[in-house]
A and B are shown apart, each in its own frame.
Chain A
Amino acid sequence: MSTAADQEGNLMTRTVSRWRIAYAICTIAGLATLLYTIGAPFNHGG
């Protein structure tokens, strides 16, 4: 049986974990823009 403190701890762990995943996704999205900005693929008519 979990106590209120356990539940609060689990909630905090889940929140921190979600923030880390969001942080990773933001970084990956940033990396995805590199080919758009400093890359120069020919992109016409495709």
Chain B
Amino acid sequence: MSIRFLLLTIAPPLFGVGLGYLLRGRLAGFRGLRVRALWLVWLAAAVQFAQDSVESVRHVVEDVVGVPMLALIFAIVLGWLAVNLPGWPGVIRAAGLAIVLGAALNGLAIAANGRMPYDPAVAAAVGGQSGVETPKNEPAGAGTRLGFLGDTIAVPGLRKVVSPGDVLISVGACTFVVLAMRRRPEQSVPTAEEVTHDPSAVPAADRPGRVHGGQPGAVALHDRSPV
């Protein structure tokens, strides 16, 4: 992985952090936003690394077992999103859905062609090696299907070519960070465990500023008859 590619991948969430601070958000806004099973994302990254760089693993998984590694990677990440999306608040869920849509567009182009097609002319224009086939990309040609979903958008500063799906994933990741940072304290309620460090604790009220509903059978003071 080149430095430029690393910059391309970390740019959307980092831009989101900058924008989040500009909009008076803070990293602590992530408090209370449950992101479950993050290990699935690391697992997908490990599988992607193996596909890119470990020829023997790619041979065993794809040729011996017969499972396309790209399908495996997409399944793992979409599984992670499926686990998390229902629990995220509405606007953050919309950012997550943008990521799902981007993945679906990329997945369609890859499924239709076996690899993600890229426009050789655009690749040459940004200084890349056009005509090269990689484990994930191939040059678009006359037989390419859904070419408009392929890598056709130049990123000249980083000398890369991205797809409409990549743009959606980037926008979704950036928006996710901004929205998470801008969550107000009352939207990110600390758990009973966070407050008391006692996993068996029961919160006094469901949200800060609210009054506990009381226990069944408890009589409110104002209902007591005067003596």
**A residues near B, CB below 8 A?**
12, 16-17, 20-21, 23-46
- B169's partner among A23, A28, A38, A44 (CB-CB below 8 A) is A38
Contact B38 A20 (CB under 8 A): no
Docked pose: A12 CA to B47 CA in angstroms:
38
Contact A40 B166 (CB under 8 A): yes
Q: What are the residues of chain A within 8 A of B99 when measuring CB–CB?
A: 34, 38
Sample of 11 further A-B pairs with CB below 8 A, known A39-B165, A40-B106, A40-B136: A12-B197, A28-B16, A28-B17, A33-B9, A34-B41, A37-B76, A39-B9, A41-B151, A41-B166, A44-B123, A44-B137
Docked pose: A27 CA to B155 CA in angstroms:
25
Can you list 5 A-B pairs, Cβ within 8 angstroms, ordered by A? A30-B35, A32-B9, A34-B169, A42-B123, A46-B4
Give residues of chain B (26-84) contacting chain A, Cβ–Cβ below 8 Å: 27-31, 33, 35, 38, 41-42, 44-45, 47-48, 73-74, 76-78
